[in-house]
Amino acid sequence: MSTAIAKLSGQGFAHHLTWLVLRVLPFVGMILLWDFASRAFDVPVLFPGPLTTWNKAVELIAEGQLQADILISLWRIAIGFVLGSLLGMTLGLMMGLSRPIADTLGPFVHTLRFIGPIAWISAVMMWFGLGETSKVILIVYTTTFVVLISTMIGVLTVHPNKLRAARVFGATGFRLFAHVTLPAALPHVLTGARLAMMNSFMTIIAAEMVAARQGLGFLIFNSRQWMEVDAIFVGMITLGLLGLLADRLMALLTRLLFRRFRPADA
């Protein structure tokens, strides 16, 4: 800790302070603006201010409600995301490497791409029940598409000279794939995964709004019945923070685990 402070003052304490203030200021400003707007609007039930929202958050946390909702939503996303990424990557690789497979699966991929996951919610619930499986399947669906397309692009855009060089050095068939194509495509796969994570958040919230008894989406939509707009705000802000956290976490993990595979300018 003391070394950190020493470093800070070494690099210009004023500089760091300004940086911090500039980052925090917009949010402080927004909160003040929010407070002002809610007072001006003057219908606390319909448009609660920051303080009311904060109190509601505290209340929900004390009841354990907020934590439970967060965990459920995250859990569903996590499983679906992992499964979907694996499936999407596999299919994307197959489609990128094999023209026949790309031709065969192509019409299905390019049509289903336009049908959002929630359109399937009734069907999925009918076939897989009202429980967790349906929600996870929807996440798998949306993740698969995003990762599939990114992976396919990654495979198709490997520079021919990389493949030619490998052939010169005796790498063909599976070795060519494992040592060249796969690593070359990996940056695209990772970009796709990050995008898919955001899509997964959107999907789970929608699914929970339409057909769940728990989760942040349920919390948000259900609170409408009781006109608890403060609870709605709590849910939405929590969602934003979680999404932000997940995105930053993914970026961090990518940087740590896949240091070699980031695009050069990342």
Partner 1 sequence: MSFIAFREVGFRYGEKEDAGNSILRGLNLEIARGTFYVLLGPSGCGKTTALNLLAGFETPRSGSVLVEGRPVQQPGMDRVVIFQGDDSLYPWLTALENVEFPLRMTGRGAAERRNRAEAWLARVGLANHAAKFPHQLSGGMKQRIQIARALVCDAPVLLMDEPFGALDAQTRTILQDELVDICAGSGATVLFITHDIAEAIILADRIGVMRAGPGSAVKDEFELDLPRPRNRGSVEFAAVYDRIQRVLGEEVQKVVMREAAA
Partner 2 sequence: MSVRISRGVMRGSGAVLLFLVAWEIAGRTIFVPAVLPAPSAITAEGWARWLSGALQWDALMSASRLAVGFTAGSLLGAFLGLLFGAFAPVRRILEPLVQFLRFIPPIAWLTPVLIWFGIGEEGKWVLITYTTTFMVLLNTLAGFAEQHRDRMRAARVFGAGSWDIFLHVRLPATVPWILGGMRIGMGNSFQTLIVAEMLASNEGLGQLILNSRLQLSTEGMFVGIAGIAVLGILADSAFRAATRRLFHRYRLGW
**Interacting residues with partner 2 between 200 and 259 (CB under 8 A):** 201-202, 205-206, 209-210, 217, 220-221, 223-224, 227, 229, 232-233, 235-237, 239-244, 247
CA within 13 Å, CB half, 198: 10
CA within 13 Å, CB half, 165: 8
Residue 213 vs residues 8, 22, 72, 137: alpha-carbon distances, Å: 48, 41, 10, 17
- Distance CA(54)–CA(60), nearest Å, equals 10
**Interacting residues with partner 1 between 169 and 208 (CB under 8 A):** 169-171, 175, 179-180, 183-184, 186
Quote the least distance from Cβ 216 to partner 2, whole Å: 8
> In sequence order, which residues have a C-beta less than 8 Å from that of residue 218 and are 6 or more positions away?
69, 208, 209, 212
* Residue 128 found at the interface with partner 1 (CB under 8 A): no
- Which of the choices partner 2, partner 1, none does residue 10 contact, using the CB cut-off of 5 to 8 A by kind? none
- Distance CA(96)–CA(102), nearest Å, equals 7
Cβ closest to partner 2, residue 81 vs residue 201: 201
SS3 1: coil
- Which of the choices partner 1, partner 2, none does residue 167 contact, using the CB cut-off of 5 to 8 A by kind? partner 1
- Distance CA(176)–CA(180), nearest Å, equals 5
Q: Tell me which residues touch partner 1 (CB under 8 A).
A: 159, 161-162, 164-171, 175, 179-180, 183-184, 186, 260-261, 264-265
Q: Tell me which residues touch partner 2 (CB under 8 A).
A: 22-23, 25-27, 29-30, 46-47, 99-100, 103-108, 111-112, 114-123, 126-127, 198, 201-202, 205-206, 209-210, 217, 220-221, 223-224, 227, 229, 232-233, 235-237, 239-244, 247
